[in-house]
A and B are shown apart, each in its own frame.
Chain A
């Protein structure tokens, strides 16, 4: 039934009139998509053009937002990048009106689902873009392509076929076996085999069982889950329903942070639509399986991403992790057997069911299967979402997809896995990314935040930043995390202020071990990771702070000398213009000079200098 639906809808999706697609994920909105959208509507009226205006989620090229795609009947879909309202009238007039792409704004073109349409000349294809070339988009296949508010568009792209297949032809045990066989592991960070988790929950029988979706994405620099929920919410929901069926859950909760208002709104809409179409609620698709899914908005505590704290939070209690055993699969939410998976994990499920475990397990490395989405941020040219097969190297992500480091600066390290992850240096650029090797290198998969750091970043300061984050977000339950992180932060702050002692490094290493061993939950156990990995790979920077009282990257303001290196100064006056207290003198003919008595060490001159002339 669903596949028929799917074909019909596919036919329907071939446009008869021009279709204009605007990326209105949070990244798009941030870049000004709302203004673009309203000017499109105005211009269409002005030009008296008939066109469908559709919104879509993030396609991954966040750096090029606002993205506007135009599909002229019979032609390929053309993507315009960096669209401003001023560009709209030209694009609409020439492209939507006459079918001629405005090449100066064009980013790429792509075929629609059928390849019968004719492409434009001289426009690169989307998949051939540097950024997309080595990506493997299975999970993000719909993001940026479909209208996330439309269940029809999702169904048109094989949506809910996996659910139909599961309910019609598979027993819960078969579903679990299929997932186990695929080798799918939790995408939330820990990498626990999903099939195994479901199987152990399925073993417990109870009057109520819960399936939970963890959408409390709190890592700084992580936005994969948000993009998925905004761009393809039905895929997540479908995966969740399948999981619910596999463990015989009676109801489900999606725990999503309230800071993601768009995601919350989309999810609510998605659930309503799914209910209307009979994918949720009583007797799903005429089977005997019933499931209801509710949304619980989190109030923004980082620790609520921890499974037991998340469950307490749903119960209305303070989000504090509890000790295990019992594991959640035995007694989780309201002491009932519960399975909690990450958004991305659920999004993997329909793909596995549709294409088969065997197909899926061919992607990736021996122990880590499938693809992984990373949110690539920091000092790269093309920040955005990338989906790569497990085992891709850091170099591929940073230099191929990310386009390398801007401003000709040098790559220094990458922080993988947010505040609980670790910092990997240049020497590990060709390191394959999978669960085991990351842990071996002192980082962790985490949820998939991928922050690139260039040579101008001080690693001690970065460690301090992450430690500050962990210290603030500790729930306060156990002393190693509550007091330990604060003490570590204290030491790191001292080092960055030039008051460090050499014995501090030893203490930091001891504490890293102690906090890891003694903390109650994952937050505390992984909180020292940034310090540990920076100590491992960048010890010389720490020593420079302590012994020489200098910050090699001149980030730590307290250690700055703020002197101009005359050889490097190009007399561009960028520093002079930007100094808020007019402490810098200089002209186009004269090398800049910083008056230290007036200088407030705000660091603006250092940041503004493109030639590293200030130290």
Chain B
């Protein structure tokens, strides 16, 4: 792109061609007043305040946001004439805007206020023409005061362009023009709060703030959101050691100031009265408060006793998808070196056991090389089995940005209809039959090979086993594939054509693929596809890339695996059964590790418990009882374990079963790092003191280890991360201090070291998942993510509960008609294991003969119904 030289206010500036004057000034810290222009939104040009004097061929007045820079342009921001006109417009605005700053939460960070000060405005020439419209409070989170609105249009653009919702738009004409919803219905949107964050005045307000402080009183601490695995940077606004609201910063983090409802409004759990604030010990069947010393003493004694009686392997550990890398690292180190057990695991690994190995493999082969933020540079997006809108909303916004700015192509393949709104010109939806994902992927591969959509010679030279793949694919019949998957041949072909277009192609593999029983085969097939696509001659310069993203559920689902809270790997995906690592690790940890740790094929923790081999279970930050995929099994298992220690922030279902409960600090009260689903490590910042007696998890582990006679004396998380850096090859090169400024992307650093690895095609037999439907249980239960809830935290956040108080069972329209089920009817789902009664929501998104229940409503124990794979269920209407 050409670079333009121009001068703004006597300062020589370089700007890429096509930039507007406003952005060029902004990039060079030159202030031009303006209320409607926002760098992340499309240009609107409504506020008319950014008028500047521009000299190109001749001198004239231009509006900075609407005028592109040109070579040799001279811009003057503040000439007397410009200021006069600017003042006039401000005077008009203030004749209309109520001057209620003393009672407005926006005061202090209000664009209109700032410009009023900047222009030094005095009482104007006019009598006011105010609106006196009533405040609109039709939902629990956002309120709209139309009197304060200056109609800059930012919220309208943000809602449409970023969130893809378009819930609001302009209404009426003339002075009566207002922002509102269609037909003035109550706001029914995703409540991302984007409107609040872009609003330059106090028109849109965060109701959770509600006069709890003035903007200048808050100390603002940027940290990482504790919900999904996108890893947005949120800013905690604190005052007197309490978090009063969450805001975002357009220039911090990977999310460009975009958040979802959980990130922006789901912070209230931090100060929930239901937090566990003191350690609890079960005495006479009751959990009763105790001191830290007693609790630690008690646990140490118990653990020592079990080790002596049954050996360390009789103790299991469950790490947390919510805790930091440092917490989890110390946790596995504690289990392995102090307790001497390798019976450790985390839910992410339990749900999808093959994933860690596959992810690591794809990183080595450069197939997972992009960081999440790079989605916005995509030219083609392929979501397979992923529900971006519900599971990773902000990554969805990044995708929408790619679609808006690069005109990216979009392919969404899923077994159920998922919602994703965008303006993509090429938007292909492949709704494949349940369990037929591998056949669909193979069909895509077949089209690509048969029609030579990629450079096959290049594939042959850069990979192994290509001829085998070809012969396998030759036998594959695309007509039949189309029949099985229910996707037309034309659609498959169109998708293949889009995938092989030049530019960046990003494949986002969702939970529907990863948690399927055929996950490994499906992902291997996808990797084959990826290897093929890699040899498309990408872009004019060939610089485009293909990259995978694996969906992860929680904020640190990736990190917990990275630091080795899995039986199969030491930190950094070092195989546990590889004894050659023994010496190195022993030396680093300064202990002698028992041989049991280097055993191959470790048994599942819960299976061990069921067999009665597990005497104690140490659970850190995990509501195992609810989140373990098979609810029936876990309940039985817990009964068989003698001693359970739970370290968590709330009295979860699991904590209620525990013998000792240790109060842990939340993300807002501690330091550390999270790793997002794009392998990017980002740093937390402590915003407030721990609530009550709660402590950060790593400190609890340290004191426990010390009590058990091990030297475990870390002063800070910085030290722990340094140790992780030295032991884990994938985190090599990370620096805690540097993380403050820039996030660390481990996938690219690992790939750069291992560039020579040649991919070997794996032979994936095209097969479908078995679906065990029968006459009694004719429906299939599907589960998935929910936008409004996730984990324990959302449950204790008042606002999120008020937005989504209830979990629904979704059912196809046709089935609903047959069963005479209407929206809101009470419906019971019954599987072979258990049954559950929920309200029904009739939808057209689901395939027939399926029902969908979100698994993110923690208080709804969906796992009690489920078994591995597709669970057959029946549903019936509750009478009365």
Give A residues with C-beta under 8 Å from B.
301, 303, 318, 320, 322-325, 471-480, 482-487, 490, 507, 510-511, 514, 517-520
Q: Are A483 and B48 in contact (CB under 8 A)?
A: no
Q: Are B93 and A479 in contact (CB under 8 A)?
A: yes
Q: Are A517 and B85 in contact (CB under 8 A)?
A: yes
Contacts of A482 in B (CB 8 A): 151, 174-175, 177
Contacts of A301 in B (CB 8 A): 173
Contacts of A478 in B (CB 8 A): 45-48
A507 and B66 in contact (CB under 8 A), knowing A472-B174, A477-B153, A479-B150? no
Flag whether B68 is at the interface (Cβ < 8 A). Answer: yes
Q: Are A519 and B48 in contact (CB under 8 A)?
A: yes
Flag whether B51 is at the interface (Cβ < 8 A). Answer: yes
Bound Cα distance from A471 to B176, whole angstroms: 10
Which of B66, B129, B176 contacts A323 (CB under 8 A)? B66
Bound Cα distance from A486 to B128, whole angstroms: 10
Bound Cα distance from A480 to B47, whole angstroms: 9
Q: Are B92 and A490 in contact (CB under 8 A)?
A: no
Q: Are B129 and A517 in contact (CB under 8 A)?
A: no
Which of A480, A486, A514, A517 contacts B174 (CB under 8 A)? A486
Bound Cα distance from A488 to B175, whole angstroms: 12
Could you pull out 23 A-B pairs where Cβ atoms are within 8 angstroms?
Answer: A303-B173, A318-B169, A322-B45, A323-B63, A323-B66, A472-B174, A474-B177, A476-B170, A476-B176, A477-B44, A478-B47, A479-B89, A482-B151, A482-B177, A483-B92, A483-B93, A483-B175, A486-B129, A510-B88, A517-B85, A518-B85, A518-B89, A520-B45
Flag whether B96 is at the interface (Cβ < 8 A). Answer: yes
Bound Cα distance from A538 to B45, whole angstroms: 36
Bound Cα distance from A483 to B96, whole angstroms: 7
Bound Cα distance from A322 to B61, whole angstroms: 17
Which of A322, A486, A511, A520 contacts B175 (CB under 8 A)? A486
Contacts of B150 in A (CB 8 A): 479
Q: Are B48 and A518 in contact (CB under 8 A)?
A: yes
Q: Are B151 and A477 in contact (CB under 8 A)?
A: yes
Which of B43, B67, B173 contacts A472 (CB under 8 A)? B173
Q: Are A323 and B61 in contact (CB under 8 A)?
A: no
Flag whether B585 is at the interface (Cβ < 8 A). Answer: no
A487 and B92 in contact (CB under 8 A), knowing A325-B67, A471-B175, A477-B153? yes
Q: Are A483 and B95 in contact (CB under 8 A)?
A: yes
Bound Cα distance from A475 to B171, whole angstroms: 9
Bound Cα distance from A473 to B173, whole angstroms: 6
Contacts of B755 in A (CB 8 A): none
Nearest residue, chain A, Cβ from B170: A318
Q: Are A323 and B45 in contact (CB under 8 A)?
A: yes
Flag whether B127 is at the interface (Cβ < 8 A). Answer: yes
Contacts of A322 in B (CB 8 A): 45
Contacts of A490 in B (CB 8 A): 126-127, 129
Contacts of B66 in A (CB 8 A): 323-325
Q: Is the interface of A mostly helix, strand, loop or mixed?
A: helix
Flag whether B172 is at the interface (Cβ < 8 A). Answer: yes
A475 and B173 in contact (CB under 8 A), knowing A323-B66, A483-B93, A519-B48? yes
Minimum-distance CB pairs A-B, first 3: A476-B177, A323-B45, A323-B66
Q: Are B45 and A476 in contact (CB under 8 A)?
A: no
Least Cβ–Cβ distance between A257 and chain B, in angstroms: 15
Contacts of B174 in A (CB 8 A): 471-474, 476, 482, 485-486
Q: Are B61 and A474 in contact (CB under 8 A)?
A: no
Further contacts, 11 of them, CB under 8 A, given A476-B151, A490-B126, A520-B48: A323-B66, A324-B66, A473-B174, A474-B177, A475-B173, A476-B170, A476-B176, A483-B93, A487-B129, A490-B129, A514-B88
Q: Are B92 and A484 in contact (CB under 8 A)?
A: yes
Bound Cα distance from A538 to B175, whole angstroms: 28
The number of inter-chain residue pairs (CB within 8 angstroms) is: 97
Q: Are B96 and A325 in contact (CB under 8 A)?
A: no
Flag whether B475 is at the interface (Cβ < 8 A). Answer: no
User: Which of B46, B63, B153 has the most C-beta atoms of chain A within 10 angstroms of its own C-beta?
Assistant: B46
Q: Are A507 and B85 in contact (CB under 8 A)?
A: no
Nearest residue, chain A, Cβ from B169: A318
The size of the chain B interface, using a CB distance under 8 A, is: 35
Q: Are A518 and B43 in contact (CB under 8 A)?
A: no
Bound Cα distance from A275 to B88, whole angstroms: 54
Q: Within residues 176 to 196 of chain B, which ones have a CB less than 8 A from any CB in chain A?
A: 176-177
Which of B47, B95, B129, B172 contacts A476 (CB under 8 A)? B172
Contacts of B65 in A (CB 8 A): 323
Contacts of B283 in A (CB 8 A): none
Flag whether B125 is at the interface (Cβ < 8 A). Answer: yes
Bound Cα distance from A487 to B175, whole angstroms: 10
Nearest residue, chain A, Cβ from B127: A490
Q: Are A520 and B46 in contact (CB under 8 A)?
A: yes
Bound Cα distance from A429 to B871, whole angstroms: 89
Bound Cα distance from A543 to B173, whole angstroms: 32
Bound Cα distance from A480 to B51, whole angstroms: 13
Contacts of B85 in A (CB 8 A): 514, 517-518
Bound Cα distance from A485 to B96, whole angstroms: 12
Nearest residue, chain A, Cβ from B65: A323
Nearest residue, chain B, Cβ from A475: B173
Contacts of A303 in B (CB 8 A): 173
A480 and B89 in contact (CB under 8 A), knowing A323-B66, A490-B126, A520-B45? yes
Q: Are B67 and A477 in contact (CB under 8 A)?
A: no
Contacts of B44 in A (CB 8 A): 477
User: Which of A322, A474, A478 has the most C-beta atoms of chain B within 10 angstroms of its own C-beta?
Assistant: A478
Contacts of A486 in B (CB 8 A): 129, 174-175
Contacts of B93 in A (CB 8 A): 479, 483
A483 and B67 in contact (CB under 8 A), knowing A471-B175, A477-B153? no
Least Cβ–Cβ distance between A35 and chain B, in angstroms: 37
Nearest residue, chain A, Cβ from B97: A483
Least Cβ–Cβ distance between B453 and chain A, in angstroms: 23
Contacts of B151 in A (CB 8 A): 476-477, 479, 482
Least Cβ–Cβ distance between B484 and chain A, in angstroms: 37
Bound Cα distance from A472 to B174, whole angstroms: 5
Least Cβ–Cβ distance between B44 and chain A, in angstroms: 8
Bound Cα distance from A519 to B44, whole angstroms: 13
Contacts of B177 in A (CB 8 A): 474-476, 482
A479 and B47 in contact (CB under 8 A), knowing A325-B68, A514-B85? yes
Least Cβ–Cβ distance between A507 and chain B, in angstroms: 5
Bound Cα distance from A320 to B126, whole angstroms: 27
Bound Cα distance from A482 to B48, whole angstroms: 12
Q: Are B95 and A487 in contact (CB under 8 A)?
A: yes
Bound Cα distance from A482 to B43, whole angstroms: 19
Contacts of B47 in A (CB 8 A): 478-479
Bound Cα distance from A248 to B127, whole angstroms: 53
Bound Cα distance from A511 to B174, whole angstroms: 17
Contacts of B175 in A (CB 8 A): 471, 474, 476, 482-483, 486
Bound Cα distance from A303 to B96, whole angstroms: 22
Nearest residue, chain B, Cβ from A302: B173
Bound Cα distance from A517 to B89, whole angstroms: 11
Bound Cα distance from A303 to B177, whole angstroms: 14
Bound Cα distance from A475 to B66, whole angstroms: 19
User: Which of A322, A472, A483, A514 has the most C-beta atoms of chain B within 10 angstroms of its own C-beta?
Assistant: A483
Contacts of A474 in B (CB 8 A): 173-175, 177
Q: Within residues 626 to 676 of chain B, which ones have a CB less than 8 A from any CB in chain A?
A: none
Least Cβ–Cβ distance between A462 and chain B, in angstroms: 19
Q: Are A507 and B125 in contact (CB under 8 A)?
A: yes
Bound Cα distance from A476 to B156, whole angstroms: 14
Nearest residue, chain A, Cβ from B176: A476
Which of B92, B153, B173 contacts A480 (CB under 8 A)? B92
Bound Cα distance from A479 to B172, whole angstroms: 15
Q: Are A480 and B48 in contact (CB under 8 A)?
A: yes
Bound Cα distance from A293 to B309, whole angstroms: 89
Bound Cα distance from A325 to B43, whole angstroms: 11
Contacts of B45 in A (CB 8 A): 322-323, 478, 520
Bound Cα distance from A517 to B172, whole angstroms: 25
Contacts of B153 in A (CB 8 A): 477
Q: Are B48 and A320 in contact (CB under 8 A)?
A: no
